Amino acid sequence: MTSELRHLALAHQGLTSPGTFGTGESGALRAMEHLGYVQIDTLAVVERAHHHVLWSRVPGYEQDHLNQLVSKGQIFDYWFHAASYLPMRDYRFALRRMTTIRQGENRYYKNLDTPLMREILARVRAEGPTRARDFERRAASSGKAWGGRPVRAALDTLFMMGELMICRRDGMEKVYELSERMLPEGLDLSVPTLPDVAAYLFKTTRRAHGVFTWKQLLHLQKGKAMREAMRAILDAHLDAGEVEEVVLNDGSSVYVDLKAQERARSLESAFKPEPALQILSPFDNAVIHRDRLSSLFGFDYRLESYVTASKRQFGYFCLPVLFGDAFVARIDAKAHRAEGRLEVLSVHLEDVAFERERFFVALNDELRRFATFNGCSTLDVRVVEEARRG
């Protein structure tokens, strides 16, 4: 049963069949609409997470596809459980957060510099898309420097309020535009009720994962009212026989989409693919819920870039390696972009059963592909060869 659930979870993530979502820019959009979001991350030891997640699922994905989709009004950049790209069709579900910030209910956005914010809006309205570093001159009316921390804080607040949107990212540098100029005509801008938000989160999680936990459904959602709304939705799906609770070997519970499970069984009986290998981002949607990852896949994974160097076990930016339906290794890698060289710093194999020789052949193939994705023409895999011989 556990193996079946693993395969179902990975299939829902688009990690079992190449091209599940199509290719190129259109494939990236379909992947994002299915997953619900793609997390943005600033760490650039290898290619950043938002590109890595889509590259793992979409053949022909290119880094500029995200800016293109933003410019076409098909996705937008906002805060989900972290900075993320989200489908534009889901924009209204960000409005509750925006409203609380506008009304001063969010503790992180207090003591606002309203005059500076008005001046920023006026300048963007007059001059068009603007970056924080474009504010270099002194504003005569406010006496504040156009630049530095005050302006960045004001831009971030206007963004979180929904007054400004990010129209593109140059690397990680944000370019802001008025939201009214970016939102597609006819977009639903009605503020959802709390039960609406709960239903949206449930639908998104079920669609993207197939196998999910209660903790996943409520990730960073606080308050008794939200818990009660989510419980009512989950109970309704359980009662309707659409979702089933399953207890795993470690005693934890997951909820399984029964219709999806039935479809997966019929497909697997017709065709069982050879195990594929994929190097995933630490922020990949399939691994970001660490407790579920441990219970369902038996893979205890933590990102160690926030751990003191002397206490790291696996490396600063160790990447999970998926082989078939199991996480069998983690590699620490670094892209030396100036040299055009991808270096594998370490390889750590998990204590699980897998076809060792087939794994290393697949790993070398995938590392070459990964190097190209990272803009590197050469590959340093000495530690991989040592691990293979060991």
**Tell me: the pLDDT tens digits for 325-369?**
999 999 999 999 999 999 999 999 999 988 899 999 999 999 999
Task: Name the residue ranges covered by the structural domains of the chain.
Answer: 114-181, 277-389
pTM: 0.93
- State the Cα–Cα distance between residues 138 and 135, nearest whole angstrom: 8
Task: State residue 266's pLDDT score.
Answer: 61
- Give 253-257's long-range contacts (Cβ < 8 A, gap of 24+): 253/213, 253/214, 254/5, 254/211, 254/212, 254/213, 254/292, 254/295, 254/296, 255/211, 255/212, 255/213, 255/214, 256/5, 256/8, 256/210, 256/211, 257/8, 257/12, 257/206, 257/210, 257/211
How is the chain split among helix, strand and coil, in percent rounded to 5? 45, 20, 35
Domain 114-181's class? mainly alpha
Backbone angles phi, psi at 213, to 5 degrees: -115, 165
Q: Which residues of the chain have pLDDT under 70?
A: 1, 136-147, 266-274
> Tokens standing for 161?
């309020």
> What confidence score (pLDDT) does residue 81 get?
82
Sign for the pseudo-dihedral over CA of 247, 296, 43, 348: positive
- pLDDT score of 267: 58
DSSP class of residue 382? H
Report the topology of domain 277-389.
Aminopeptidase (3.40.630)
